[in-house]
Structure 1
């Protein structure tokens, strides 16, 4: 027998416009990365960039990061919803785990940066060079060495899911694999390689918005591989 209160319950559905979360993440995360990169020039003593650098740009980047992380969580949810009944436990675990690890390490590295800025405010003379060097080294290890590797695993697992389920066009799968390999191998070579990840998220989000009907394209511009 159905309880009277159950008649007012409704099944939750993912809003079509939720894919805008990926666009928001790409814009916020990309802006934060650019602000950090232009504020931390190469060739200086380890940690001195945070002590002597442009604090207002770094502070803005620290403020943007949490909001970009919230948007990334929404992006993960939208991608999982798109998989539906085609989701496989093995690939879903790798995909979800790598995405959450990436987000956690980005948050941790941002918190270290916020701590370095607080150290500068506490002692404007910048005499704690050892602390600044340790914090800078920890930040770079978390963001470039570990977080970016998780981002590469995130992309590879998602590309494999798309390849086997054929949910996305073949060209996007190929591009995803190429970008993932570049991020995995060259993240320590060029610090600007981190920008590749939010650009990829932006492309995926726009394609999802087109497929969901939120963004309309002329018929001749639609992909023939559309499911």
Structure 2
């Protein structure tokens, strides 16, 4: 951190930033659960008539409403992660980490927006939508969310795990958990329902670790005083 000059105050990472990973994990997990409850069979098996059921429709709409807030907290989570790594981070891996996080957020937003458009425009409540619009919209949204977003999440997890291993800023069990999470997101999540929950689970564990590390660092700083 740069030394403070006269009349200057060094910027510090807000303590609340450490909570971002926990909040993001809970919001994303809730959205995934609601989406799976609304579309348990996946996009390929869902017929237009299925969404005349108000319960399933409301579950999906609730999931989509949570996505923007999950994305906002994820960006704070990325900032908290980089602050935890510190200035010793590898520039190449740090760029991959930041880029994959931004692409994940953009893809998540795009998929949610596409799904919302299908439900609100092509599928009024209580009516069956136009088949052409339904087929295109549901496959487009589902592919963005389950294929592209999950794979960008895998890149984010794997780059963070490598950084944590090289710099020693993550404990070995958390690094191994990241490897398992990345492999699951890359090769399993798009075909096995509910397996995408490994990403919010990993984010929750990492967020708690960052919170605990920040608490210990503040305790050490306050100790001599």
Find the counterpart in structure 1 of residue 14 from structure 2. 15
- In structure 2, the CA distance between the partners of 1:8 and 1:95, relative to structure 1 (3 Å rule), is same
CA–CA distance in structure 2, aligned partners of residues 72 and 127 of structure 1: 33
- In structure 2, the CA distance between the partners of 1:49 and 1:74, relative to structure 1 (3 Å rule), is farther
How far apart are 1:46 and its partner, in Å?
5.3
Find the counterpart in structure 2 of residue 31 from structure 1. 30
User: Which of 62, 65, 69 is the equivalent residue of 1:63?
Assistant: 65
Name the SS of the counterpart of 2:194 in structure 1. Answer: helix
Answer whether contact 1:40 1:50 (CA < 8 A) is retained.
no
Q: TM-score, normalised by structure 2?
A: 0.86
CA–CA distance in structure 1, aligned partners of residues 20 and 99 of structure 2: 19
1:177 lines up with 2:176 in the alignment: no
- In structure 2, the CA distance between the partners of 1:99 and 1:116, relative to structure 1 (3 Å rule), is same
User: Which of 160, 185, 191 is the equivalent residue of 2:193?
Assistant: 191
How far apart are 1:123 and its partner, in Å?
7.0
CA–CA distance in structure 1, aligned partners of residues 129 and 14 of structure 2: 52
1:124-163 aligned at under 5 Å gives the runs 124-163=126-165
Find the counterpart in structure 1 of residue 210 from structure 2. 208
How far apart are 1:208 and its partner, in Å?
1.1
Answer whether contact 1:48 1:129 (CA < 8 A) is retained.
no
CA–CA distance in structure 2, aligned partners of residues 175 and 85 of structure 1: 24
- In structure 2, the CA distance between the partners of 1:195 and 1:49, relative to structure 1 (3 Å rule), is farther
Gaps of 5+ in 2: 217-225
- In structure 2, the CA distance between the partners of 1:12 and 1:123, relative to structure 1 (3 Å rule), is same
Name the SS of the counterpart of 2:87 in structure 1. Answer: helix
- Larger displacement relative to structure 2 (69-78 or 120-129): 120-129
1:76-95 aligned at under 5 Å gives the runs 76-95=78-97
How far apart are 1:125 and its partner, in Å?
2.5
- In structure 2, the CA distance between the partners of 1:45 and 1:208, relative to structure 1 (3 Å rule), is closer
CA–CA distance in structure 2, aligned partners of residues 122 and 110 of structure 1: 17
1:116-127 aligned at under 5 Å gives the runs 116-119=118-121, 122=124, 124-127=126-129
Gaps of 5+ in 1: 1-5, 215-227
CA–CA distance in structure 1, aligned partners of residues 50 and 83 of structure 2: 42
How far apart are 1:179 and its partner, in Å?
1.3
Find the counterpart in structure 2 of residue 164 from structure 1. 166
Q: TM-score, normalised by structure 1?
A: 0.85
Find the counterpart in structure 1 of residue 45 from structure 2. 44
